[in-house]
Structure 1
Amino acid sequence: MMETDTPIYVNNTQIENVESYVYLRQRHSTRDKNKDKENQRRITAGWTAFAKHRDIFKGNIGTCLKRQIYNIAYFQQ
């Protein structure tokens, strides 16, 4: 990919040049080809979803229901 300092405009709005972004829950980087940051971001998102509903996960309900709650919490981030 060729880097340029020439601004790009769409409908008279300048497009921001970024080094990384999240698309479809996956971090992409224009410079860093190392996946460590993406892996750490996913781990953090998983623990955040777990911590949000800690009382439910420690409760006496079925694993199937716990998994459904975790998935809802994780994918709403």
Structure 2
Amino acid sequence: MKMKKGIVITAMILLLASCSMNTIVYAGEICTKEAEERIADKIVVKYREYKGRLQYRRWNETKGYWVDSHWIDV
């Protein structure tokens, strides 16, 4: 009797946990604009050779602009 009661309680807890996880995922899908704002920017380092010197500059690939205002010598 105690074993059966324990199994039923465990099953109810798992059911409630899975329902709450589905709610969280669903809420995240609705709030896509807010989620996009929290995504970290992807920064890419671009290299070039200019007048015999190697230079680099960082580009924000997420928002589409240069992070550095000018090329930096390596």
Instruction: Confirm or deny a common fold (TM above 0.5).
Output: no
Larger Rg: 2
Q: Hey, which of these two has a bigger chunk of strand by percent? A: 2
Query: Which category of TM-score, normalised to the shorter sequence, fits these structures?
Result: 0.3 to 0.5
